Amino acid sequence: MAMRKDIDHGRWGGVKQGGLAVLLLVAAFFSPGCASLVIQPMVGPVVKNLNRQADLELVCDGAPSYLLLLDSLLVSEPDNARLLLHGTQAYTAYASIMPECGRPERAVVLGERARAYGLRLLGTYKSLAGAASLPLAVFSEALQSAGPGEVEKLFWGGYSWATWIGFSQGAPAAVADLPKVEQLMLRVLALDETFYHGGAHLFLGVYYGSLPVMLGGRPEVSRTHFERALAIGERRFLPTLVAYAEYYARQTLDRELYVRLLEETMAFDLALAPDLTMANVLAKRRAQRLLAQVEDVF
C-alpha cells in the first residue's frame, strides 16, 4: 500500500546522484548530532521530488543511494526520531515497489529493514518500546495514552510492519502480528482519520476485506473503510480505488463495482494530483493487470 517515493530525472532535490556519494562521506565524517543538522533539511525536498516522479525505472535504479544515505545518518544518530521516520518510510516504499522493479525477492529483505526501523520509530514513544514482544493486551493499553502528536509514528510504524507481514509468505509468526497493526491503525483513526489520505482506513479496508467471513472477514466494515478513505482522499489517491476493487469487490464477487473502480483508476489524469504521481502510476499499472483478469475472476 504507498506510499511511494520518486526522483526528478536523475536528481535528488537538485543534487545529482553522483553527489550522494559525497553526501555519504560527509555524513560519515561528521560527529554525531552534526550530520543530521546538515543533511536533514535536504530530506524533505528529496521525498517530495520522489513522490512527483513518473519514471518507475529511474526510481528502481536510483532509490538505493537514498537508502544508503539514511542508513549512514542513522548509524550516527540511532535514536533520532525524524531520521527513523524517513528510514521507515523509504524502506517501506522501496520494499513495496520491488515486484514492479522486477526484483520481488528483494522485497522480503527490504521489508525486514522497514519493520526494524518502524519498530525503532515506535520505540521513540516510550510506552511502545519493545512493541514486537509486548502482549497484545499490554500493547493495546499502551496505545491509548498516545496523543495526536504521535500519529505519524503510529501510522508509519504500523504500515512498515504490515509491509513486512505482506511479504512474509504467510509465516505464522508474522501473521500473528496483524492484530497489533490493526490496533495501531484503529488508534490512528481515533486521533486523526485523515492522516495520509485516510491511510488507516485504507489498511483496515484491506484487512477486513481480505479474509473470508468464516476466518474473521467483515466485508461491509471493509466497504465502509474504503468509502471513507475515498472521501478523505477526494478519489485522488488511486491505491485506494485499486485496493477497494481487489479486496472488497473481488471478494464479494461484485463485478460491476470491480470494473467501475478500476476503470476510474485508469481514466484519472495524473496531472490532477502531481504530488501523488508515483503512487498513482503504480496503481494504474496494477489496475491494468486486474482489468485483464475480469473474465477469469468472474
Query: Model confidence at 271, in pLDDT bands (50, 70, 90)?
Result: very high
More confident call, 195 vs 15? 195
Q: Look at residues 131, 163, 186 and tell me which one is the last residue of a structural domain.
A: 186
Which CATH number goes with the domain that contains 251? 1.25.40.920
Domain that holds residue 219: 193-298
Closest CA to 262 of 236, 284, 295: 284
Co-location of 166 and 207 in the same domain:
no
What's the predicted TM-score (pTM) here?
0.86
pLDDT digits (tens, 9 = 90+) for 94-150: 999 999 999 999 999 999 999 999 999 999 999 999 999 999 999 999 999 999 999
Q: Please check whether residue 60 is in contact with residue 101, taking contact to mean a CB–CB distance below 8 angstroms.
A: yes
Co-location of 111 and 154 in the same domain:
yes
C-alpha to C-alpha distance for 189 and 180, rounded to whole angstroms: 14
Co-location of 52 and 173 in the same domain:
yes
Co-location of 13 and 146 in the same domain:
yes
**DSSP letter string, 198-210:** HHHHHHHHHHHHH
Query: Helix %, strand %, coil % for the chain, to 5?
Result: 75, 0, 25
Number of Cβ atoms within 10 Å of the Cβ of 274? 11
Co-location of 253 and 210 in the same domain:
yes
Task: Check pLDDT > 60 for residue 25.
Answer: no
Co-location of 220 and 279 in the same domain:
yes
Place of cell 483496515: 204
C-alpha to C-alpha distance for 70 and 86, rounded to whole angstroms: 8
Co-location of 222 and 175 in the same domain:
no
C-alpha to C-alpha distance for 290 and 296, rounded to whole angstroms: 10
Co-location of 198 and 175 in the same domain:
no
**pLDDT on residue 272:** 97
Q: Look at residues 186, 215, 243 and tell me which one is the last residue of a structural domain.
A: 186
Co-location of 231 and 153 in the same domain:
no
Indicate the Cα dihedral angle 197, 106, 293, 220, nearest 10°: -40
Task: Check pLDDT > 50 for residue 10.
Answer: no
Co-location of 32 and 147 in the same domain:
yes
In one-letter notation, the amino acid at residue 56 is L
Co-location of 78 and 101 in the same domain:
yes
- The number of helix segments (H) and strand segments (E) in the chain equals 15, 2
Query: Model confidence at 8, in pLDDT bands (50, 70, 90)?
Result: very low
pLDDT digits (tens, 9 = 90+) for 52-67: 888 999 889 888 888 9
Q: Look at residues 186, 201, 221 and tell me which one is the last residue of a structural domain.
A: 186
Residues 6+ apart with CB under 8 A from 190: none
Co-location of 15 and 115 in the same domain:
yes
